[in-house]
Amino acid sequence: MGHSQAQTFTESETVDRPVEGALSVIERVATAPAPEPLHHTTESFEIEAPTHLSNRRRMIIIFLIILCNLTQFISMFTTVAGGFKFSSELGRDVGPGQANWMAAAYSLTQSAFVLISGRLGAMFGHHRLLLLGGAILVVFSLVNAFCTTYSSFVAVRGLTGVGGGILMPNAVATLMIMVPPGKARNVTLATFAASPPVGALIGALLAGVFLEKAKWKWLFIFIALFGLLVFSALFLVLPHEVPVDREGKIDYVGIFLGLSGLLLFNFAWNQAPSVGWGRPYIIAIVILSVVFLAAFFIWEKSFAQEPIMPLTIFAAPTFTALLFVVLLTYMSVGISLWYMVAWQQLLRNWTVLQLAIGWIPFSIGASMAVGLAAWLIPRMEAQYIMAIGVVTSFLSLLLLATMPEQQSYWAQTFPAVFIGSICPDFVYVAAQIIASNSVGKREQGVAGSLIGTLNLYGNSLGLGIAGTLEVQLVKNGASEVTGFRAALYFGAALTVVALALDLAFVRMPKDDRQGWKSSDSPDILDSSIQARTTAVDGQRDQVSKNQV
């Protein structure tokens, strides 16, 4: 084993953030500095650089980490593409409003745990948390294979999403440590950013093949075995790790109150289409979620010594409006995807495999969009890049909502799928840049992790509200296709509101800064990680640039 190097950084050192073109923007979007402890007394941090690793071992680790993220998105999208077939096999042959948990369960818990798992990784080790997330994903994918009821199946999908939420931020944190700053890191992160749409396509294709050629349980056994192979290989090649912030503290009360409120609120909206809003327990859950969220804000404002979400962040220019734009847009994205699947499968009798093939343009378009958005950042004001993304979602929803019940795929579905593929990455890239520029240095991690959480949370929440609208219309005598159209028009209305908020309240010039503002105090660097899909701690990247 070679000698590993460590460099110490003190309070007197500053952090520069040069703008280096499209790939460096991808790097900044995939990473977000975590919030610094308010009462940290340590004078320095030591960040271990794994220089003892051979290039071959390093490349194997990078490849396996990208496979890990690919695996979780394969798992996630199997029940989006095959959700209606799974529901039918489990004795719940219903429409999208009542089968919505198939698409919503995974992303709900994934979004919640993305918010906190990076910080846990900084304290307990990113490698450990990455492998823990993988273990959860493998175990509950296997459990899914043996579920015999709809309720047990979607509950286990939610538990599988916990693994995805723990995995993702710590995967990127590990990549940040493995790959030194420069073009190689940017290309690595760009490849990592392409894994969600590619994983979604593979997941849809696998679901189609297994549902047509074998019993559906073998799909989840296959995912579990594939995940076991990938995560076991990663376990064998990962080096020893010293957590970067072993003495750090976590606002456990704030985490409990905040996550409980978010999870319960979303649960109520996604459960109500199936059981009806007349059920007392649904109303009770909504009330309880509001109580938890109110208690969270009171705790964070008045009692938390090191709040997980300092409320001062909402005073930042444009930031609150930005959060609503992101939430509303991703609600529309989830609605567009789920009701496109419903239309093709339930009204046009497509198989899951046919749907997966029809989904290929989205995967290609989304993979291209992240690079295009990053290229535009230094050339166009970010709120307009985000506006382009919102408009593409609106156009996609409008194309879907106005389709005849029976029509060729190429007439409106194909353009809707391809145009809609631009939205997620355009909005996400622009939102992360705006968030980063809107808040101070100490709030970077909170801002980045909120954006990363809201895109996943919005996907799930939108399905619940649209499902409520669709189910109620059908119960009152509307046709099935009318219910679908209403849900899609509702998604389009969300994009109109998001666009109005963006153009009226979100302001951010072209991103040509060369460092922190003088008003941003160069406090001690905290290397804790917070994340999305990919909103994770880029602090090490900036620290390493100082090394160079």
Asked whether residue 545 is domain-assigned, the answer is no
Asked whether residue 332 is domain-assigned, the answer is yes
d(Cα 500, Cα 295) in Å, to the nearest integer? Answer: 31
For residue 12, the model assigns a pLDDT of 35
Is 357 in the same domain as 278? no
Across residues 237-258, what is the average pLDDT? 87
d(Cα 318, Cα 435) in Å, to the nearest integer? Answer: 9
For residue 45, the model assigns a pLDDT of 39
Is 408 in the same domain as 285? no
For residue 25, the model assigns a pLDDT of 54
The residues, any chain, with a CB within 8 Å of residue 355's CB and separated by 6 or more, are 81, 204, 208, 341, 344, 345
Asked whether residue 20 is domain-assigned, the answer is yes
Q: How big is the CA angle at 252 (ends 249 and 255), to the nearest 5 degrees? A: 120
- Rounded to the nearest 10 degrees, the angle between the axes of helix 360-376 and helix 422-438 is 30
Percent of the chain with pLDDT over 70: 83
Longest CA–CA span in the chain (Å) reads 73
For residue 298, the model assigns a pLDDT of 95
DSSP line for 140-169: HHHHHTT--SHHHHHHHHHHHHHHHHHHHH
Is 291 in the same domain as 318? no
Single out the residue in 241, 270, 304 at which a domain terminates.
304
For residue 526, the model assigns a pLDDT of 35
The residues, any chain, with a CB within 8 Å of residue 385's CB and separated by 6 or more, are 373, 376, 377, 426, 429, 430
Query: How many CB atoms within 10 Å of residue 187?
Result: 14
Identify whether the C-beta of residue 52 lies closer than 8 Å to the C-beta of residue 177: no
Is 265 in the same domain as 402? no
For 512-547, give the secondary structure using H, E and C: CCCCCCCCCCCCCCCCCECCCCCCECCHHHHHHHHH
* Run of H or E including 48: strand 45-49
The pLDDT of residue 294 is above 70: yes
For residue 22, the model assigns a pLDDT of 54
Is 210 in the same domain as 267? no
**Token reading at 8:** 């110490």
For residue 240, the model assigns a pLDDT of 87
**Hey, which of 293-307, 377-391, 407-421 has the most confident mean pLDDT?**
407-421
Instruction: Please give the backbone phi and psi of residue 292, each rounded to the nearest 5 degrees, phi first.
Output: -60, -45
Q: What is the pLDDT of residues 15-42, one digit of tens each?
A: 334 334 555 555 555 444 444 444 443 3
Across residues 91-107, what is the average pLDDT? 91
Is 185 in the same domain as 268? no
Asked whether residue 518 is domain-assigned, the answer is no
Structural domains counted in the chain: 2
**Token reading at 334:** 């989830």
The pLDDT of residue 540 is above 50: no
What is the pLDDT of the chain when averaged over all its residues? 84
Within 276-318, residue ranges assigned H as helices are 280-302
Asked whether residue 380 is domain-assigned, the answer is yes
Across residues 70-80, what is the average pLDDT? 95
Single out the residue in 304, 321, 337 at which a domain terminates.
304
Segment among 277-286, 290-299, 366-375 with least mean pLDDT:
366-375
d(Cα 4, Cα 539) in Å, to the nearest integer? Answer: 20
For residue 24, the model assigns a pLDDT of 55
For residue 3, the model assigns a pLDDT of 42
Is 416 in the same domain as 351? yes
- Could you list the residue range(s) of the whole structural domain that residue 87 is in? 5-251+305-513+527-540
Is 221 in the same domain as 260? no
Asked whether residue 39 is domain-assigned, the answer is yes
3-state secondary structure of 7: strand
CA distances from 332 to 149, 232, 277, 395 (A): 29, 37, 22, 11
Asked whether residue 134 is domain-assigned, the answer is yes
Q: What is the pLDDT of residues 154-193, one digit of tens each?
A: 999 999 999 999 998 898 888 888 887 777 777 787 788 8
For residue 51, the model assigns a pLDDT of 59
> What pLDDT band is residue 62 in, cutting at 50, 70 and 90?
very high
Segment among 78-87, 238-247, 262-271, 333-342 with least mean pLDDT:
238-247
d(Cα 37, Cα 11) in Å, to the nearest integer? Answer: 13
For residue 314, the model assigns a pLDDT of 87
Q: For residue 342, which of 273, 289, 422, 288 has the smallest C-alpha distance?
A: 273
For residue 440, the model assigns a pLDDT of 75
**Hey, which of 54-68, 299-313, 528-542 has the most confident mean pLDDT?**
54-68
> What pLDDT band is residue 514 in, cutting at 50, 70 and 90?
very low
Is 328 in the same domain as 268? no
Is 267 in the same domain as 364? no
> What pLDDT band is residue 115 in, cutting at 50, 70 and 90?
confident
Q: Write down how long the chain is.
A: 548
For residue 424, the model assigns a pLDDT of 92
The residues facing 491 across adjacent strands are none
The residues facing 46 across adjacent strands are 8
Which sign does the torsion angle of CA 174, 72, 369, 367 carry? Answer: positive
Single out the residue in 268, 289, 304 at which a domain terminates.
304
Asked whether residue 520 is domain-assigned, the answer is no
Is 127 in the same domain as 149? yes
Across residues 123-147, what is the average pLDDT? 95
The residues, any chain, with a CB within 8 Å of residue 236's CB and separated by 6 or more, are none
Is 238 in the same domain as 262? no
d(Cα 527, Cα 443) in Å, to the nearest integer? Answer: 13
Within 409-516, residue ranges assigned H as helices are 414-420, 422-438, 444-475, 480-505
CATH of the domain at 321: 1.20.1250.20
